Amino acid sequence: MANGKKKRGFITYRSYLFKDKDPIIDCIRTARSEKKMSFKELKEESSVSVSTLQNWERGRTISPMFKTAMAAINALGKKLGSKNGKPFLYD
């Protein structure tokens, strides 16, 4: 069992860095940190819960709902674009 142990028929891993997550999460994290916004401030602007935002950034959510991600993006004052199939945020 590579990098994990079996518990009740499931393999639990020490790290979930192997998951393919939506790259929009990294864009939102970068924009939030550039604006120096806390999770609570972003929650107040976007109505996206703090736990949801934290789950995105901690890798617990692989792919956020589009509507929820757009609420966070709009609250950050950004727009969503795509170049070569990869999303990016711009002013």
pLDDT at 19: 56
pLDDT at 8: 54
Sign of the dihedral defined by the CA atoms of residues 34, 36, 40, 42, in that order = negative
In whole angstroms, give the CA distance from residue 32 to residue 44. Answer: 13
Whole-model pTM: value is 0.76
Per the CB < 8 A criterion, the answer to whether 45 and 38 are in contact is no
Q: How do strand 10-13 and strand 4-7 relate by DSSP bridges?
A: antiparallel
pLDDT digits (tens, 9 = 90+) for 19-31: 567 889 999 999 9
pLDDT digits (tens, 9 = 90+) for 46-82: 999 999 999 999 888 888 999 999 999 999 999 999 9
Helix residue spans in the chain (DSSP H) = 23-34, 39-46, 50-57, 66-75
